[in-house]
Amino acid sequence: MLCAVQFVVVLDATIVTTALPAIRSSLGFSDAGLTWVVTAYTLVFGALLVPAGRVADLLGPRRALVTGLGVFAAASAACAAAWTPAALIAARAVQGLGAALSAPAALALLGLVSHRGRAVGLWTAAGAVGGGSGWVVGGLVTDHLGWPVIFWINVPIGLVAIASALRVLPRVPARRRRIDVFGAVTITIALGLLVQLSWASLVAAAALIALFAWHLRRDADPLIPPRLLRSPTVAGANLTAALLTASTTPAMYLAMLHLQVVLLFPVFNVGVVAGSLVGPRAVRRTGHRRTAVAGFALIAFGAALLALFSGAAPPPSPGPGAAAPGLGAAAGFAIAVAFAVVGAGLGAASVASTRAGTEAARPEHRGVGSGVLTASAQIGTALGLAVLAAGSSVGSGVGFRVGLVGAAGVAVVGMVAALLLPGARFLPGARLRRADREVVGAGG
**Higher pLDDT residue, 12 or 54?**
54
Other Cβ atoms within 10 Å of 36 Cβ, number: 19
What count of residues does the chain have?
Answer: 444
Q: How many Å is the Cα radius of gyration of the chain? A: 21
Query: Closest Cα partner for 38 from 103, 98, 88, 100?
Result: 88
Angstrom distance (rounded) from CA 84 to CA 78: 11
**Long-range pairs, 314-321, Cβ under 8 A, ≥24:** 315/396, 315/397, 316/257, 316/258, 316/259, 316/260, 316/396, 317/260, 319/260, 320/18, 320/139, 320/260, 320/262, 321/18, 321/135, 321/136, 321/139, 321/260, 321/262, 321/263
Q: Tell me the three state secondary structure of residue 428.
A: coil
CB neighbours of 373 closer than 8 A, spacing ≥ 6?
A: 107, 237, 238, 241, 353, 354, 357, 358
Lowest mean pLDDT among 40-44, 195-199, 372-376: 195-199
Question: Under CATH, what is the fold of the domain 226-444?
Answer: Growth Hormone; Chain: A; (1.20.1250)
Question: Residue ranges of the domains in the chain?
Answer: 1-179, 182-222, 226-444
- Do 326 and 266 meet the contact criterion of CB atoms below 8 Å apart? no
Does the pLDDT value for residue 5 go beyond 60? yes
Task: Provide the residue type at 430 as one letter.
Answer: A
Angstrom distance (rounded) from CA 60 to CA 58: 6
Angstrom distance (rounded) from CA 124 to CA 3: 8
Binning pLDDT at 50, 70 and 90, where does residue 441 land? very low
Tell which CATH architecture fits domain 1-179.
Answer: Up-down Bundle (1.20)
pLDDT tens string 87-111? 999 999 999 999 889 888 887 777 6
pLDDT tens string 427-437? 443 444 444 44
Does the pLDDT value for residue 304 go beyond 70? yes
CB neighbours of 208 closer than 8 A, spacing ≥ 6?
A: 186, 187, 189, 190, 193
Q: Do 226-444 and 1-179 have the same topology in CATH?
A: yes
- Do 385 and 249 meet the contact criterion of CB atoms below 8 Å apart? yes
Backbone angles phi, psi at 321, to 5 degrees: 80, 5
What number of CA atoms fall less than 13 Å from residue 416's CA on the CB side? Answer: 4
What number of CA atoms fall less than 13 Å from residue 315's CA on the CB side? Answer: 3
Per-residue pLDDT, 440: 41
Angstrom distance (rounded) from CA 42 to CA 381: 11
pLDDT mean over 279-308: 87
Q: Tell me the three state secondary structure of residue 175.
A: coil
Computed over every residue of the chain, the mean pLDDT equals 77
Per-residue pLDDT, 408: 92
pTM of the predicted protein model? 0.74
Does the pLDDT value for residue 324 go beyond 50? no
**Higher pLDDT residue, 210 or 130?**
210
Does the pLDDT value for residue 259 go beyond 50? yes
- Do 231 and 444 meet the contact criterion of CB atoms below 8 Å apart? no
Binning pLDDT at 50, 70 and 90, where does residue 190 land? confident
CB neighbours of 50 closer than 8 A, spacing ≥ 6?
A: 184, 187, 188, 191, 223, 224, 368, 371, 372, 375
